[in-house]
Structure 1
């Protein structure tokens, strides 16, 4: 009986250690807060963030990342649009990188629906401080990223908060796990 208890304690200690290592060093859960990433991510969805990928390589355009925003005392989820050295220009529904319009397949259905109604998806909210048409062209500095929410007319992103330092990046969003009916790996 005594040996069995010792074995159970060892097994539980190892399991606890594995959970700690996985949770703090490899992956982290994240809850989407707000509509800024619709139609691809919804408010209150739960995702798994891969925390080690950017220890191996830098973020790439199109990847969805989670990063710290100390001024807001919380983390944001956004899509990487520009990497260091890229020149960014946002004009209506077209995002230009280094003078070339980029394809955004993750928003194509939303663009098509808005355009079918003779509207822009990336609506100008000129009555507010939202800078859809006023974001100046800029070159992404070293060790920084330019990020945007998929819900372009309702996203606090690099057009408002500026470039994101690489050292604030928590990791890449890799899996939606809740609600269960939305369970899927995230395409980047």
Structure 2
């Protein structure tokens, strides 16, 4: 009798752990694999990141956030950085980002800009001004020459990203273990 009671308690505990794990992955956090080099040097191919999914009900999306985007047509996820917010006008000229006419410092690109300026190349081709529609975002990869993002025309571009396409924000790298760090 006691063995059966212990077994039932153990099964209840296991069921509780499974329910909590599913709830956490569904509503709070989920692991995502980085696929490709479009976010180099910030994120690397095959790194595993933890994504906060709370933006859908308690969070907000800000410029500079690294977000995971669900592409409904291809059933894949993209990892990109939010550059422009709904209703803004964005343009790029000589590697200088301007939002609504004001220059924005992209500190996360400091090393990449040093490299390109030393080699007489641009990190980002000029574009714009482009008006971002309401309820949409303009995203780009940190590895600008090798990123499919909001620049350009489909199918070679993601275009503007609706809030519904954003799964969550990257919080930190968890794998490989020697690369554990916060993401910005």
Runs (4+) off by over 4 Å: none
CA contact (8 A) 2:42 2:183 kept: no
Q: Does the alignment pair 1:148 with 2:148?
A: no
Structure 1 residue 91 displacement after superposition = 1.9
Quick one: distance in 2 between partners of 1:117 and 1:168? 37
Q: Which ranges in structure 1 are unaligned for 5 or more consecutive residues? A: 123-131
Size of the aligned set, in residue pairs, is: 177
CA contact (8 A) 2:28 2:54 kept: yes
Quick one: distance in 2 between partners of 1:86 and 1:115? 28
Quick one: distance in 2 between partners of 1:21 and 1:161? 30
Quick one: distance in 2 between partners of 1:75 and 1:92? 30
Structure 1 residue 118 displacement after superposition = 2.6
Q: Does the alignment pair 1:110 with 2:107?
A: no
- Corresponding residue number in structure 1 for 2:171: 174
**RMSD between superposed Cα atoms in Å:** 1.3
Alignment TM-score, normalising by the size of structure 1: 0.89
CA contact (8 A) 2:98 2:104 kept: yes
Match of 1:138, SS? strand
Structure 1 residue 180 displacement after superposition = 0.6
Structure 1 residue 112 displacement after superposition = 1.2
Q: Deviations over 1:52-105 (max 9, x none)?
A: 134213300000000111233211010000111211002231111111111111
Match of 2:129 among 126, 131, 137: 137
Structure 1 residue 113 displacement after superposition = 2.0
Quick one: distance in 1 between partners of 2:92 and 2:158? 15
Q: Deviations over 1:92-127 (max 9, x none)?
A: 3111111111111111011112212332223xxxxx
- Corresponding residue number in structure 1 for 2:62: 60
- Corresponding residue number in structure 2 for 1:96: 98
Alignment TM-score, normalising by the size of structure 2: 0.91
Quick one: distance in 2 between partners of 1:71 and 1:3? 50
